[in-house]
Amino acid sequence: MAATSVLTRAAWNDLLTRINNLAASPPAGCKALDALQLATALHRWSTADIAAARAKLSAICSTNVFNAPSTGVWMKSVIDELNTAIGKGWCKCQQACCVPNRSGTVQINPGGYSVTIPFSEIVEQYLYGYVSRDDMVAAMGSAVVANLEACLGAGGTTGQIIQYTQRHLHWTNCLYQDRWLDGSIRQVGDQDEYWFTCSNTDTTVLGSGWVPSLTSGSYAGGTSVGDHNYYDQPIGTGYNYDWQAGRYYETYWIGAFDVDAYVYDLSVTKVCP
């Protein structure tokens, strides 16, 4: 004769509560489930109660197997299987490869000002080198960051989450100098010369692809400045009056230099709830 395990209402409700607590607290990648109704006074347990408990545990983990017959008296094997399934917990929970559509607070340029921005922007600013890893993890949560790192590392279509484009920008800055009418130099601030951009910016796309790893500053870009080339005969561009000094001066175009910048544009293409 099969061993029986007759439960009191309190003991059965304790079993259901453990199932409900498990159902309400899934790991990342799974959604919480509705709770089972607890037994009330005068309730007589039936095969429907067992079936409901088994169904909930099967929804929590599809690999749970229940072989004990659920008909007739309460068999110990029925309760043992339920306890085994509860102990097993959730399974096949896999967080989607995307950046959650939530916001967090970080410091831009570590030690600088704090802003609350979407997770996608936090990731981009981290890759640019403007947000520290500690701030990113504190704002997004270690589980989200770890999942994103795993997804990027997987490569293929799984890792296609953050797209980058590298561009080369080129422009020219013109050098100017102000001179009083007696030929002496009128300083601007504490400088003898100053510059303004005096050309269009030429843009060339160097390449594009998918970010393969979550590495701080890996898409920081950079700028290089060419030599200052001075004209043998500076070009006068007109007279002006310095009201504070009470004197006229002439502005001269005295030279130019080239600037080359290499920049990355980042875009998170997979955002999830």
Give the domain-ending residue among 141, 162, 183.
162
pLDDT of residue 113: 86
Q: How many Å apart are CA 66 and CA 64, to the nearest integer? A: 7
Number of domains composing the chain: 3
Are residue 181 and residue 247 in the same domain, yes or no?
yes
Q: Is residue 235 part of a domain?
A: yes
Q: Is residue 94 part of a domain?
A: no
Q: Is residue 53 part of a domain?
A: yes
Interhelix angle 133-140/142-154, rounded to 10 degrees, is: 110
pLDDT of residue 143: 85
Are residue 80 and residue 116 in the same domain, yes or no?
no
Please give the model's pTM, rounded to 2 decimal places: 0.65
pLDDT of residue 72: 55
Q: How many CB atoms lie within 10 A of CB 173?
A: 19
- Write out the two tokens for 23: 């159902």
Are residue 148 and residue 197 in the same domain, yes or no?
no
Are residue 146 and residue 167 in the same domain, yes or no?
no
Pairing verdict, β 247-268 and 229-242: antiparallel
- Write out the two tokens for 177: 């100098």
Domain that holds residue 242: 163-265
93 Cβ neighbours under 8 A, 6+ residues apart: 26, 27, 28, 29, 30
Pairing verdict, β 162-180 and 202-210: antiparallel
Using CB atoms within 10 A of its CB, is residue 190 exposed (0-12), middle (13-18) or buried (19+)?
exposed
Per-run averaged pLDDT (10 residues), the chain, 273 residues: 68 92 86 90 82 93 86 75 92 85 90 90 95 94 91 88 97 96 94 96 96 94 95 89 95 96 96 85
pLDDT of residue 1: 41
**CA dihedral in degrees (138, 143, 146, 148; nearest 10)?**
-90
- Of 178, 197, 191, nearest in space to 251 by CA: 178
Q: Is residue 270 part of a domain?
A: no
Q: Is residue 3 part of a domain?
A: no
Q: Is residue 119 part of a domain?
A: yes
pLDDT of residue 6: 67
Q: Is residue 273 part of a domain?
A: no
Q: Is residue 93 part of a domain?
A: no
pLDDT of residue 39: 86
pLDDT of residue 110: 65
